[in-house]
Amino acid sequence: RDAEAWAKCYHSDFQFVRHQSGTNMDLNQTKEMVKMMYANDAVVIHSQRCIYENEDIIVAHQIMDFPDNTREAVMVVHTVENGLIVRTETGATQLSK
């Protein structure tokens, strides 16, 4: 839950593409969102696992609980350049708790 340490893994040109909402965020916007999520104990990540990774891509899946009492299955695809994540795309499916 350290947003500063988290941000060190991301490229300065980072883009976060959220397919569920159709929105994009840059690194600073994403960092602010991550800070809020890390500060809220109601945000819980369950069953986080890496599906596949190499030097160009990381594919992960996780179940997340949110403060509004919702739960989502989240597929995450990170594009990697020069050892840093430059783009993240997510798709989420609402689950019942």
pLDDT tens, residue by residue, 12-47: 999 999 887 888 999 999 999 999 999 999 999 999
- Does residue 2 carry a pLDDT above 90? no
Are 55 and 41 spatial neighbours (Cβ–Cβ below 8 Å)?
no
What residues form DSSP beta bridges with 78?
A: 58, 88
Percent of the chain with pLDDT over 70: 100
Q: Compute φ and ψ for 27, nearest 5 degrees.
A: -60, -45
Question: What dihedral do alpha carbons 28, 52, 79, 65 form, nearest 10°?
Answer: -30
- Does residue 97 carry a pLDDT above 80? no
pTM of the entire structure? Answer: 0.87
